């Protein structure tokens, strides 16, 4: 059985019974990077990770929402600082592309928040999980380069070829969602991007269309993603399974963290 790792999922947004089904119901699901959206989400994700050894928590503040008040941000940063040892990454963080388009928000305050979290991620020696699409990705690359950040994962990335080239040259990673089966934009991204910097994800519980219409988002959907990536790249499916699994394990240092967990039990 080919193993899969979900590089980006919001487990705290599922019902408790569904979390158990996701983690225990499919033996091919080897690990899940569970991202968070705010302090309450971080705390919920922490509890889930404490129950399941397959879950590796990332803590952060999702940008597609109103900015936190100063006290809220301070509480979040202090909480993350206290729990940095169990945190696999800082995420999900980034810039509010969709919210800004809808409401015309100013980008500046969100950039200040992101830069603060980037600086913290460097001090904690944690990779970043980023929500940064289209023209926002170039802005985020500017910040990453400014602070000499080497480990960045752009989840569900969308953007122009110039930005893709820049990200790949910097050694950043992307992850591919199940809409690779029906979204031309994602299919073109796969064609243009090196496999050596690619992972797969669901961003669950975000729903998908095409063959997944009406279905609850589950990591098992990534099997179809991998099949499609293999077709687009003209490679054997077994190669894609091996490459994206290794990429995710190496990027997030999952082997070392798994060994550490076992030694602490």
Q: What percentage of the chain reaches a pLDDT higher than 90?
A: 92
- pLDDT, tens digit, 9 for 90 and up, residues 99-123: 999 888 899 999 999 999 999 999 9
pLDDT top residue among 260 and 64: 64
pLDDT band at 264 (very low <50, low <70, confident <90, very high): low
Kind and range of the H or E run holding 4: strand 4-9
- H or E element that contains 30: strand 29-34
Higher pLDDT, 249 or 264: 249
Q: Would you state the pLDDT for residue 260?
A: 55
E strands in 51-170 = 55-59, 89-94, 128-131, 152-155
Instruction: Identify which of 29, 83, 53 has the alpha carbon closest to the alpha carbon of residue 260.
Output: 53
Give CA–CA dist 11/114, Å, rounded: 23
User: In the structure, what pLDDT confidence band is assigned to residue 263 with cuts at 50, 70 and 90?
Assistant: low
Class in CATH terms, 4-264: alpha beta
Residue 265 predicted with pLDDT over 60: no
pLDDT at 105: 85
Global pTM exceeds 0.75: yes
pLDDT at 217: 98
| Residue 156, C-beta contacts closer than 8 angstroms, at least 6 positions apart | 8, 131, 133, 175, 177, 201, 203
Beta strands in 35-168 (DSSP E): 55-59, 89-94, 128-131, 152-155
Percent of the chain at pLDDT exceeding 70: 96
Q: Indicate if the pLDDT at residue 37 is higher than 90.
A: yes
Q: What is the pLDDT of residues 60-105, one digit of tens each?
A: 999 999 999 999 999 999 999 999 999 999 999 999 999 999 888 8
Distance from C-alpha of 215 to C-alpha of 59, rounded to nearest angstrom: 27
C-alpha span between 133 and 241 (Å, rounded): 26
Find, among 108, 100, 222, 90, the residue nearest to 156 by Cα.
Answer: 222
Q: What pLDDT score does 187 carry?
A: 98
Averaged pLDDT of the chain: 95
Q: What is the DSSP string of 178-232?
A: GGGGT-HHHHHHHHHS-GGGEEE---TTS---GGGTTSPP-GGGHHHHHHHHHHH
The residue among 23, 64, 3, 25 whose CA lies nearest residue 238 is 3
Looking at residue 104, its pLDDT comes to 86
The pLDDT value given to residue 38: 98
pLDDT at 261 (0 to 100): 55
Reported as a single tens digit per residue, the pLDDT across 185-243 is 999 999 999 999 999 999 999 999 999 999 999 999 999 999 999 999 999 999 999 99
């Amino acid at each position: 059985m080919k193993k899969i790792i979900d590089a980006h999922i919001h487990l705290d947004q599922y019902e408790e019974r569904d979390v158990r089904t996701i983690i225990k119901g499919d033996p091919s699901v080897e690990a899940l990077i569970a991202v968070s959206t705010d302090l309450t989400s971080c705390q919920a994700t922490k509890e889930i990770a404490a129950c399941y050894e397959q879950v590796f928590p990332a803590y952060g503040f999702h940008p597609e929402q109103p900015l936190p008040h100063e006290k809220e941000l301070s509480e979040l940063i202090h909480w993350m600082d206290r729990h940095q040892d169990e945190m696999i990454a800082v995420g999900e963080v980034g810039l509010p592309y969709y919210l800004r388009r809808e409401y015309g928000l100013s980008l500046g305050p969100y950039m200040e928040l992101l830069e603060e979290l980037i600086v913290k991620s460097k001090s904690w020696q944690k990779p970043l999980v980023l929500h940064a699409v289209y023209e926002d990705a170039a802005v985020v690359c500017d910040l990453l380069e400014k602070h000499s950040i080497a480990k960045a994962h752009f989840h569900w990335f969308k953007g122009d070829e110039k930005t893709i080239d820049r990200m790949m040259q910097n050694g950043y990673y992307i992850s591919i969602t199940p809409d690779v089966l029906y979204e031309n934009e994602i299919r073109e991204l796969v064609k243009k991007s090196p496999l050596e910097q690619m992972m797969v994800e669901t961003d669950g519980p975000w729903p998908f269309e095409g063959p997944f219409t009406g279905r609850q988002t589950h990591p098992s959907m990534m099997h179809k993603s991998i099949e499609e990536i293999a077709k687009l790249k003209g490679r054997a499916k077994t190669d894609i399974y091996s490459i994206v699994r290794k990429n995710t394990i190496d990027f997030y240092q999952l082997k070392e963290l798994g060994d550490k967990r076992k030694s602490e039990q």
